[in-house]
Amino acid sequence: MTEHLLARPRFVDERIAHWARATPDAEAVSYLGRTFTWSQWDDRVRRNAGGLQALGVGRGDVVAFLDKNHPGCVETSLGAGSLGAANAIINFRLAGDEIDYAVNDSGATVLFVGTELVPTIEKVRDRLTSVRTVIEVTPEGVTADGEPDAYEAWLAAATPVSRPDDVTEDDVCLVMYSSGTTGRPKGVMLSHRNMVSHTVNAHDGWGFEPGDKSMVSMPLFHVGGSSYVLFGIHDGVPSVMTRDPDGASLAGAIMAGANRTFLVPAVLAQVLDSGEDAVRLFGALKTYTYGAAPMPPPLLRAAMKAWPDTDFIQVYGLTEVAGVATHLMPEEHRTAESDGHPERLVSAGRPVPDMEVKVVDPATQDEVGTGQPGEIWMRSPQVFVGYLGKPEATAEVMTDDGWFRTGDMGRVDAGGYVFVEDRLKDMIISGGENIYSPEVERVLSEHPAVAEVAVIGVPDDRWGESVKAVVALKEGASATEADIVEFCRDQLARYKCPRSVDVVLALPRNPTGKILKRELRKPFWEGRERQV
């Protein structure tokens, strides 16, 4: 029996304690030359909890972690969670005023901060109104003098504690600030029940095998990092954590034995462009799970050809559902075309267990028929508790009977495959016709000169909006606006084709790799009454 099929845990820290008892001396995690066994890692989690408790942290409180990937962040999530408190993981790529907003919004009383971020925190320290204690964390765990850093010294001095009896599955254990594309980020509150449900449900159809190692490279401030790391902990296999998702770090992790991972599609493109040695090295991966951004069909085909023995899994989800909501499994990648359903390679797959999905008319909120477009709604034990301190914003996306309104437009075909067509707010309405930008983007991504593309709606005095394509060309390639528009007209209805094309060096993206269409649209909509 594979370990992920064992009895379902109730709390996020439960499995690390299980492996500390079952396989105490086995490798649990490695990071920048340091390795901890299960008994050592569990002890660190218990000491983290004890240290937080000594600082006055208890049930319902929040602490914050600001650093690049570091095992201490996972230890804090599990340690704080075991007390009924939550770890708010702050995006280390934010500017100073954005960091103090997130820390203050979380209400964190304790802030762990990586050495590289200390100068940023020093500049805004007087604005961190709730923070009572700041603990510095170094990548190697030691100072320049070779002494334990503040975090390691704090852990060593702490008394390990166990989970108090009053902690419940519905206590919030993690606060993830949604990347969003408009306005300030919102703190997504995720409970033990949400996180454990995700670990169990998103594990359906695949599992680690003896000898496997899980590469944790997605930023832990992203749900794709903090949710993914729990899979290895759940199954009791070693995790190889990288500080950054750069090429050298990923290569080092693979050479250290990591053979299963979750990364954004852009990484595959970089590897394929890096030469035969890089392609050969990545062939050691047994599973490559991708998501968080669209995978252009030409890139997916090239990746499947380059790594025929690698299992590809596409996932679609949101922070508000603790990560994965639907997945397209390896066999479906391999057989989509031979089974007569090539379109399913661009689907998001089918819902994971315990995940209800329906598509509704966003105006009437009535469920639409099979294959009809509408807003995607979800209901599951994975659905978040709410937005921290923002009950009105929570009410806008949650129905009284537990459905979460994703804000994503899409459809579900007769086989139950979910197709995510667009963000509701990004849908282009031209002359009364709804135009879903991914459909246009998929066509344009096939153009031999196009490296990446984003399709947006811009003001049009006659049609309300018209379609604009913003493209970055491949190195050394050239294409005119007329070439690109004509290429589109050969494959799409005329009203869906771009009326204009802008060529840029690169598309703007947020820290998780999502294209910021807001930034592309902004110059065209400034000063207008309606903003898209």
Angle at 519 between CA 515 and CA 523, to 5 degrees: 145
Asked if 163 contacts 82 with a C-beta cutoff of 8 angstroms, the reply is yes
What is the reported pLDDT for 183? 60
d(CA 353, CA 158): 40
Looking at the chain, how many residues does it have?
A: 532
Query: In this prediction, what percent of the chain has a pLDDT beyond 70?
Result: 96
d(CA 237, CA 232): 5
Please state, in angstroms and as integers, the Cα–Cα distance from residue 96 to each residue in 87, 102, 388, following that order: 20, 10, 21
84-88, 116-120, 269-273, 287-291: least confident range = 269-273
Name the band, by pLDDT with cuts 50, 70 and 90, for residue 238.
Answer: very high
Phi then psi for residue 422, to 5 deg, are: -175, 165
As a whole number of Å, the end-to-end CA separation of the chain is 51
Residue 505 tokens read as 């060096």
Residue 480 tokens read as 């005119």
Q: What is the mean pLDDT of residues 83-89?
A: 98
Where are the domains positioned within the chain? 3-191, 433-525
Please write the tens of the pLDDT for every residue from 167-207. 999 999 999 997 544 467 899 999 999 999 999 999 999 99
Q: Is pLDDT of 1 > 90?
A: no
Residue 123 tokens read as 């500049």
Name the band, by pLDDT with cuts 50, 70 and 90, for residue 6.
Answer: low
What mean pLDDT value characterizes the chain? Answer: 92
Q: What is the mean pLDDT of residues 371-392?
A: 97
Reported as half-sphere exposure (CB side, CA atoms, 13 A), residue 23 has a value of 16
List beta partners, residue 358.
377
Asked if 166 contacts 59 with a C-beta cutoff of 8 angstroms, the reply is yes
Could you please state the CATH topology (level 3) that the domain comprising 433-525 is classified under.
GMP Synthetase; Chain A, domain 3 (3.30.300)
Asked if 279 contacts 306 with a C-beta cutoff of 8 angstroms, the reply is yes
Which candidate, 171, 313, 311, places its Cα nearest to that of 228?
313
Q: Which residue has the higher pLDDT, 465 or 66?
A: 66
Q: Is pLDDT of 3 > 70?
A: no
Q: What is the mean pLDDT of residues 125-136?
A: 96
Q: Is pLDDT of 493 > 70?
A: yes
Q: Is pLDDT of 68 > 90?
A: yes
Q: Is pLDDT of 530 > 70?
A: no
Q: What is the mean pLDDT of residues 382-400?
A: 96
Residue 529 tokens read as 């009454």
Phi then psi for residue 235, to 5 deg, are: -90, -10
Residue 342 tokens read as 């090539």
87-96, 138-147, 153-162, 378-387: least confident range = 87-96
Name the band, by pLDDT with cuts 50, 70 and 90, for residue 485.
Answer: very high
What is the reported pLDDT for 7? 65
Q: Is pLDDT of 270 > 70?
A: yes
What is the reported pLDDT for 5? 47
6-15, 382-391, 468-477, 511-520: least confident range = 511-520
Q: Is pLDDT of 472 > 60?
A: yes
Which residue type occupies 285? L
Which candidate, 438, 432, 380, 384, places its Cα nearest to that of 409?
438
Please write the tens of the pLDDT for every residue from 271-321. 998 899 999 999 999 999 998 777 778 889 999 999 999 999 999 999 999
3-191: in CATH 3.40.50.2300: no
What is the reported pLDDT for 213? 98
Asked if 196 contacts 203 with a C-beta cutoff of 8 angstroms, the reply is no
Which candidate, 154, 148, 199, places its Cα nearest to that of 173?
199
